[in-house]
Amino acid sequence: MPKPCWAVMRFRVEPGEEGPGIAYQSEVSVNDIHHKYQNEVKATIPKALKQGIKGWEVTDIKITLIAGEDHEIHSLPGDFILATLMGVLKVLEKSGTKFLEPICKFNIKAPEIYLGNIVSDLTKMRGNFDNPEFENENVILKGILPVSTSLQYHIRFSSLTGGKGRLRMQIDGYRSCLDEHGKTREFKGVSPLNTSQWILHKRGALK
């Protein structure tokens, strides 16, 4: 109230391949949901994923509009914007999402005598690495590390090897991690999951 509204939709949400980002498609005829309303749904999908259910942007996901209807008299574009945000977040709440963390690839060359300490450090930092290679009296290690655990490692590494080692690190995308290693953030603003407040907010009755 005071204005009736009508926007009915059903979404299918699936994990996407890592890297491409958001994929959206509609299987709904324009006879069921008018083309102009479907355009609003498509444009709103990225906004619905901006904070997700853990406070971070959701990516690598496939969303399909599989059913729905509009009303010839009562439907407005804003109804589909409002409902898309609600619907997508409700699906994510039921399905759950996983954290992705930034990682870097590393290349280490150091005297072989420090191999045990270096491997211990890498393990503590949740690193993954290949079998060591040996070159004269040096050892070479290559692998990946979470950025969160390795930001200051160059200081530790230099101290450990007495400046005789070489450590190169480069950002190399993201990988999934356990929830215990992630950090949930509070939703900024009114959450579409709070249905009553969200509708009032979008109708201008709640700031």
User: Is there a single domain that holds both residue 87 and residue 118?
Assistant: no
- Residue 195: what pLDDT? 83
Amino acid at the residue 111: P
Regions of the chain where pLDDT drops below 70: 1-4, 205-207
Q: Report the distance separating Cα 104 and Cα 31, nearest Å.
A: 49
Q: Would 66 be classed as within a structural domain?
A: yes
- The CATH code of the domain that includes 158 is 3.30.70.240
Q: Report the distance separating Cα 133 and Cα 100, nearest Å.
A: 30
- Residue 2: what pLDDT? 47
User: Is there a single domain that holds both residue 120 and residue 158?
Assistant: yes
pTM of the model: 0.78
Long-range contacts of residues 82-85, Cβ cutoff 8 Å, at least 24 apart: 82/5, 82/7, 82/198, 82/199, 82/202, 83/7, 83/8, 83/9, 84/9, 84/40, 84/41, 84/44, 84/45, 84/48, 85/44, 85/47, 85/48, 85/192, 85/198
Helix axes 153-161, 115-124, angle to 10 degrees: 160
Adjacent-strand bridge partners of 107: 142, 168
User: Is there a single domain that holds both residue 152 and residue 90?
Assistant: no
Q: Would 195 be classed as within a structural domain?
A: yes
- The CATH code of the domain that includes 28 is 3.30.230.10
User: Is there a single domain that holds both residue 80 and residue 122?
Assistant: no
| Residue 63 structural domain | 8-97+191-202
Q: DSSP readout, the chain?
A: --S----EEEEEEEE--TTT-EEEEE---TTTS-HHHHHHHHHHHHHHTSSTTTTS---SEEEEEEEEE--TTT--HHHHHHHHHHHHHHHHHHH---EEEEEEEEEEEEEGGGHHHHHHHHHHTT-EEPPPEEETTEEEEEEEEEHHHHTTHHHHHHHHHTT--EEEEEEEEEEEE-GGGS---PPPS--TTSHHHHHHHHTTS--
Q: Would 207 be classed as within a structural domain?
A: no
User: Is there a single domain that holds both residue 90 and residue 36?
Assistant: yes
Q: Provide the number of structural domains found in the chain.
A: 2
- Residue 205: what pLDDT? 65
